[in-house]
Amino acid sequence: MNAKKNIGCFLLVLLLVTGSYYFLDARIALFVEKIWAANARLSIFSANIPDFLFPIVCVVTGIAWAAYFFLVHKGIYNTHARFFLLVASTVPFAFFLKSILKFVVGRINTRFWLLHLRYENFHWFHGKGNYSSFPSGHMAVFTVLAAALWYFYPRYRFAYMGFLSALALALLLTNYHFLSDIIAGAYLGLFVHFTTLQALALFHNARQNAGAVEKE
């Protein structure tokens, strides 16, 4: 993506996040809360869903690096090897960036906000515990996975989009995140995906050029 497209996408996402924050986040959260209030058992189940994101990141990253090095050791550098290299790079990178942004922004999470409606929404540079909602780490991590699958295996792109849509809906309907958190998380994932693709392409070209010079 060129600079103009990058700036255009950023401004569009900024507009969507801002609009969601001012006009949709609170309304959606309160609406969902009313639905859960009418279903006590479902509400208890939703409130106790554990967060497995960090273990998932560790497992996926470990498997991707192991698969990449196995293929390279066998002298194979095909689509599968490049896919594993991309995933091994983007998944931990997305997790790392979202953690930094959560700490910097310090936005109150949806469920805590519903219990304390008068609390300030942002606690800058104090993003931990109940102040770590923005952006959605789940959307960031699973977006880079879906983007990598889309890039290397586009045949099933509708399945990837369906999965991301279902994830976003689940995060909303369990009041796990505000809508603006989800939008920002998805954008962060795409940013990491395209940035890493460009970095890997430059690295690959540099290695090829170095090899050509050595042969001469």
pLDDT at 50 > cutoff 70: no
- Please give the tally of structural domains in the chain: 1
The pLDDT of residue 202 is 87
Q: Residue 170: which domain range?
A: 3-215
CA distance 40 to 37: 6
Does the structure show a pLDDT above 60 at 214? no
- Contact residues for 152 (Cβ-Cβ < 8 A; gap 6+): 79, 80, 82, 83, 86
% of the chain beyond a pLDDT of 70: 88
How does pLDDT run across 123-156, given as a tens digit for each residue? 999 999 999 999 999 999 999 999 999 999 999 9
Cα–Cα distance between 121 and 140 in angstroms, integer? 21
Token pair listed for 8? 């255009």
Residue 2 pLDDT > 90? no
Between 107 and 214, the higher pLDDT residue = 107
Q: 36: domain CATH number?
A: 1.20.144
DSSP string, 65-127: HHHHHHHHHTT--SHHHHHHHHHHHHHHHHHHHHHHHHHHH-BPPHHHHHH-TTS-SB-TT--
Across the range 48-52, mean pLDDT stands at 68
pTM for the model stands at 0.91
Res. 213: pLDDT tops 50: no
Condensed to tens digits (0 to 9), the pLDDT of residues 165-192 reads 999 999 999 999 999 999 999 999 999 9
pLDDT of 45 above 90? no
User: Average pLDDT of the chain?
Assistant: 90
CA angle 182, 188, 192 (to 5 degrees): 150
Instruction: Specify the pLDDT at position 35.
Output: 85
